[in-house]
Structure 1
């Protein structure tokens, strides 16, 4: 599975126009290899003069993504008229390393984990190149079971950036912000105490309030 990870800086005055344009990407649902898309606004942007829109699209393989970009992307982009609504845009492609199932979800049923998602937690991690295996093992042994215990955790994925072999993205999906806040206050501190301190070189966290009109499913 492949993720297309999009980040846009959007001036406050343009947020409504950007959001309206983003809702017009629904035609993507009919493309071969498309799995789903979620996105929303980073809550840490607060009431600043601009906001960060973050979008995660999931595809079955890179060939499907390339075919979409070659045939379908530009006509949809022209219709959305989003070009003038954001000040910067960054696009990355990542491959799936590990699925994070919810408590009642089988390990392989990763495609349904975004259903009912109202909140996304993103952890952007740079890993010591010699500690990549330890990072994955600790995620599976410690963090995944710890999150699975929390009501409202819908699953997630661990991704590896295609162009940066030491950079990983951990995306977890939650019913709402309150469910993640409960995890952060009641479960996370104990898990952190058990985690190694020499694996992650740096980490950036994002809290995304999903926009229902941006969600796309086939």
Structure 2
């Protein structure tokens, strides 16, 4: 499995790429992968500090794709900002991250970590307590995620 993250300076640049280049590039890659899924998330706020799509100072990315119950969307976003973000920001080894949303009450939390070991310390010490405090079970209808070891040669 591979995860590919792309960050766009603006929606106009994204739309231009989709209109002018996407189909040609996609045709050239035909048959090189199976079961591709793509989702566009709009930036909502930073996790820890000003987000930069720079991967040279991180070895691991944690992605959490959340489908949130319609009546809990604002609570979920507030808890991300007031509970989860400060906890991640205070964790040694957490570099930075971004919180985004998409139509259909979907959210993406992408956090960058110095190493899998540093991310593991955060998980062991805090996740259960934070989940209860943020009432995550009441907010989230479905959660998918992964911890991705970055491959420096794939960074452009």
Could you say which residue in structure 2 is the equivalent of 1:213? 153
Residue aligned with 2:132, SS = helix
Match of 2:79 among 138, 157, 160: 138
Residue aligned with 2:153, SS = helix
Name the CA distance, whole Å, in 2 between partners of 1:116 and 1:76.
29
Aligned pairs, number: 155
Are residue 199 (structure 1) and residue 154 (structure 2) matched?
Answer: no
- Structure with bigger gyration radius: 1
Could you say which residue in structure 2 is the equivalent of 1:119? 60
Could you say which residue in structure 1 is the equivalent of 2:107? 168
Runs of at least 4 residues off by over 3 Å: 70-78, 112-115
Could you say which residue in structure 2 is the equivalent of 1:87? 34
Name the CA distance, whole Å, in 1 between partners of 2:133 and 2:83.
8
The alignment yields a C-alpha RMSD, in angstroms, of 1.9
Q: Comparing both structures, which one devotes a greater share of its residues to strand? A: 1
- Where in structure 2 are the equivalents of 1:26-175 lying within 5 Å? 52-73=1-22, 82-101=29-48, 105=49, 109-111=50-52, 114-161=55-102, 164-175=103-114
Residue aligned with 2:129, SS = helix
Q: Deviations over 1:43-95 (max 9, x none)?
A: xxxxxxxxx211111112221012123334456557xx532221221122110
CA separation of 1:167 and 1:112: change in aligned 2, threshold 3 A: closer
Are residue 183 (structure 1) and residue 132 (structure 2) matched?
Answer: no
Kept in 2, the 8 Å contact 1:120–1:207? The answer is: yes
Segments of 5+ residues of structure 1 without an aligned counterpart are 1-51
